[in-house]
Amino acid sequence: MDCVSFYDVLDDYFFSKTLRDATEWSYKKVLRSFLIFAGENIPPEGVDDKLVLNWRRHVINEEGLTRITWNNKLTHMRAIFNFAIAEGYVSHKKNPFNGKVARPDVKRKKTLTDEQIKKIYLLMEAREADELIGMIEIRKSALRPAWFWLTVLDALRRTGMRQNQLLHIRLCDVNLTHNWINLRPEGAKNHREHLVPITRHLRPRLERLYNRSIELGAKMEDQLFNLSRFDGRKIETSANMDHPPLRAFFRRLSNECGFVVSPHRFRHTIATNLMSLPERNLKMAQDLLGHSTPAVTLQYVQSDINKVRSLLEQIDAA
């Protein structure tokens, strides 16, 4: 049994499942981080409870990663080891990755203020204006072309979709006649397909991107948000834009703005704003965000601190 490596187990695990490419990538990433700590050549048979506990201490205390990140790593490794036990690759009767969850601290969702969103758009619109008159940086910039990235920002800001959902949108998923976008199940965490509306604020840039894509030869099954089609640095359009250009854009944008900007902060912002409306509709917010249960949507309900202060002052005055 010692001759069976974690890579052998993972290959067989992938072969037995029907996982998305992004999911397989995350399993490989987690396994790599475990083997960096435990030793590249350690076999599954050599893993015990003490090793996993030491890894947990290393991840949380030494690497400084969050407990949520640790729990995510643990979930992946637990699944791999369960498969190893079920297939008889190890003699373990008990999975050493069981029972090692770290209770996470519950923090408020990180959102963007109106002032921060205004700063983001002012910065990107200024770059767009410069590009229109030919003022383009000689060196490579993750923020170019600005009009493309403004469309990305509009899509995230106006719909609350996840970055993976955005990357899975094909031209055929955009219905400009009835003003909706179909978000594919392969881009969703819960593997569910759902529609998001195209608002009057989202439509102009989205329609421009759609039409430009067709003018450049894009087919209906081609990816809509594909940077290589427009950035002018590649002779051929890549079949698919993956996560790295998106990460590079938000990293550079965050540096330029002086605060963290990310796809999920736009999602948290629209969710929090929806749930703070007096006429909030839980089912409507749940449908827009694509949550499986209302409980997930309810995490975005926050007490109005000013109303709480006013209530407490009323109690003191009584």
Residue 129 host element (H or E): helix 114-132
Tell me: do 200 and 294 sit in the same domain.
Answer: yes
| Residue of 32, 189, 219, 309 marked active site | 189
pLDDT, tens digit, 9 for 90 and up, residues 185-243: 988 888 889 999 999 999 999 999 999 999 999 999 999 999 999 876 554 555 556 67
In whole angstroms, give the CA distance from residue 270 to residue 275: 9
Active site residue 267: yes
Tell me: do 286 and 176 sit in the same domain.
Answer: yes
pLDDT, mean of each 10-residue run, the chain (318 residues):
84 93 91 96 95 97 93 96 96 96 81 95 95 74 93 96 94 97 89 92 97 96 93 56 85 96 93 79 82 78 64 72
Active site residue 57: no
With respect to residue 214, please indicate whether it lies within any of the assigned structural domains.
yes
Active site residue 307: no
Tell me: do 82 and 129 sit in the same domain.
Answer: no
Active site residue 178: no
Tell me: do 39 and 134 sit in the same domain.
Answer: no
| Residue of 162, 194, 205, 265 marked active site | 162
Residue entry with tokens 């290589």: 228
What pLDDT is stored for residue 308 in this prediction?
A: 62
Active site residue 283: no
Residue 153, Cα to own-chain centre: how many angstroms? 14
Tell me: do 51 and 184 sit in the same domain.
Answer: no
CATH number, position 217: 1.10.443.10
Residue that finishes a domain, picked among 86, 102, 132: 86
Tell me: do 221 and 264 sit in the same domain.
Answer: yes
What pLDDT is stored for residue 235 in this prediction?
A: 47
Specify the pTM: 0.71
Closest CA to 153 of 117, 188, 113: 117
CATH number, position 63: 1.10.150
Q: Which domain holds residue 177?
A: 114-298
Cβ count near 139 (within 10 Å): 5
Q: What Cα–Cα distance (Å) separates residue 171 from each residue in 97, 179, 187, 224?
A: 43, 13, 15, 5
How many domains does the chain divide into? 2
In whole angstroms, give the CA distance from residue 250 to residue 245: 9
Measured over all CA atoms, what is the biggest interatomic distance in the chain, rounded to whole angstroms? 75
Query: For 201-304, where are the alpha helices, taking DSSP H only?
Result: 203-215, 243-257, 263-276, 282-289, 294-298
